[in-house]
Chain A
Amino acid sequence: MKTIAQESQEIPINDHVQTDGTRWKIKEKLFLGLSKEEYKAQAMRNPVNWVLFIIFLVGLPLLATRYLGGLDTVTHSSNDYPWGLFLGFGLFGMVPLSASGFLLGTTVEIFGRKDFVPIERLALLNGLLGYFFAVIYLEVDLGMPWRLPYPMFVSLGPAAVLFLVAWHVATYLSVQIAEVAPSLFEWMGWLKAKRFIKSITIGLTIAGIILSTLHQGALGALFCYAPTKVHPLWLSTNFMWIHFFCSAIFAGLSMVIVVSTLCKYFMRWRCDERFLNAVDPLTVALGKGCAYALITYLVIKIVGIAHDNEWEYLLTDWGFYYTLELGLGALLPLILFTVGVKYGWPNVVRTAAVITVIGVVMNRLNTSLISFNWNLYQEIPRWQEIWITVTIFAVYFITYRFILYRLPILYEWKGEK
């Protein structure tokens, strides 16, 4: 695509009208202005697509096996370990990384920081896709997707944290679809719909803040269901919700930094000058937010230990592992963010963001899988479970790339908007 975009004047598409005055059809826009043969050829040339092909070649039959034969054909799930990788990584890991939507929405729409506009749509899309695929992971774990309305409408459980999480995720997903919709309407040329959504943006953003804040915390509170199963260092019944909420702040911001970096280096042809000029200063600015959230997170983690008087646990093997998680996943990126922001080094901030993303996923996996049943045997996921997890992540990647190639996320639409 990079070469085609350099050689052609019409590609990438960023207007409803071609240079000769004719309007692009939706089908042409979907094929990025290329003929079917050209589109196929550019897809075949991309080595990433071959890797994805191999993942799907094994992953899709495994996924079919899961639905036809049941969860135990691909996982070790049991009453001891009901939450495997699908939820440990897919739900508990993906949701904090998707907090970017409400964070940047708030920054731009509520706090009026219009300097973050070039990266706002990317953050909103990151939030939407992260939540959507968290639900997909949940569905793969639960099975029987046709029964999804049951906990929502038919068999309500208003006293349960899971009920709260289900409703929050569902309503917040709808809010995020509405927040991302203006870029789709711009691309389609449906301006009436776009103006309607724009007129309710403030309401959507406020709804996003309320829903996201509550359910990020609720995901942490969910572990209070199993107070004797989760290791005491990872479980703090009083502070669990705020640990999860606070870590979601730097996780979401770090994810935007990581994704914008990937776009800058691997999808440069699709970015406009406004995005490319803004991405480095904005990376540093987002890094500052991460540093503030990280230092707060570290302190409330220590407060959590003090509140439950768990100092002795720190001297055990689990304690050293916990210290390692905090040291590598929170303290190291905090130092890097601080240095990167202080001296205006975007690449240092980017390194810190990558470590932070890994650290947050590590924390969620430690809480839901590794330190879970710490007094029992250790659950080792089957290779099929790992492969399916990677397969769904590959679908997430393809969907992300499909949208970024087309919709005005990394560039401004030049036609009527």
Chain B
Amino acid sequence: MAKVTSGKTSSGIILVIASLVLFWVSAAFFGALHHLDWQVGELLRQYMVATGMIKPMHTLVDFYTHIKGIEYLICVAFFVAFPVFVKYINHEKRPAKVTA
């Protein structure tokens, strides 16, 4: 009984924190959009500049370091995401419903 109560409390805390984070993210997102006169493209551009995805490059080494860095990050993320995806899709084994 005590375990069930503790589980419910933990879920409640996680839910509250997640809601707060979501509220904060939404406020930041819509605040930024309002600031930019609701231009989604401009917001995206500023985000890419801020994260270094768009930046001036002066040498070939700069260019390759930049593109390879991003490519490796995408690949590493995919190496993690793909097995998770396979596990997710195969998680529930139910026989296919036969339609008329």
- A residues sitting closer than 8 Å to B (CB atoms) are 277, 280-281, 283-284, 288, 291-292, 295-296, 299, 302-303, 306-309, 311-312, 314-315, 320, 338, 341-347
Contacts and interface: CB of A to CB of B under 8 A. Distances in A.
A342 B91 CA distance: 7
A302 B75 CA distance: 10
A315 B41 contact: yes
Given A280-B99, A345-B97, A295 B74 contact: no
A302 B74 contact: yes
For the complex of A and B, the 3 pairs showing the least CB-CB separation, nearest first, are A344-B96, A306-B70, A344-B94
A275 to B, nearest CB: 13
Interface of B: 41, 44-45, 48, 53-54, 63, 66-67, 70-71, 74-75, 78, 81-82, 85-86, 88-89, 91-92, 94-99
A338 B89 contact: yes
Nearest to B75: A303
A338 B88 CA distance: 9
B74 to A, nearest CB: 6
Given A299-B78, A314-B44, A342 B89 contact: yes
A344 B95 contact: yes
B85 A295 contact: yes
A241 to B, nearest CB: 17
Contacts of A309: 63, 66-67
Contacts of B99: 280, 346-347
A292 B95 contact: no
B92 A342 contact: yes
Contacts of B98: 277, 280
A284 B66 CA distance: 41
Nearest to B63: A309
A380 B43 CA distance: 34
A312 B89 CA distance: 34
Given A306-B71, A344-B96, A346-B97, A311 B54 contact: yes
B48 A344 contact: no
B83 to A, nearest CB: 11
Contacts of B91: 342
Nearest to A299: B78
Nearest to B85: A295
Given A311-B54, A341-B89, A342-B92, 12 more contacts: A280-B97, A284-B96, A292-B86, A303-B74, A303-B75, A306-B67, A311-B48, A312-B54, A315-B41, A344-B95, A344-B96, A347-B99
A315 B43 CA distance: 10
A284 B48 CA distance: 39
B96 A281 contact: yes
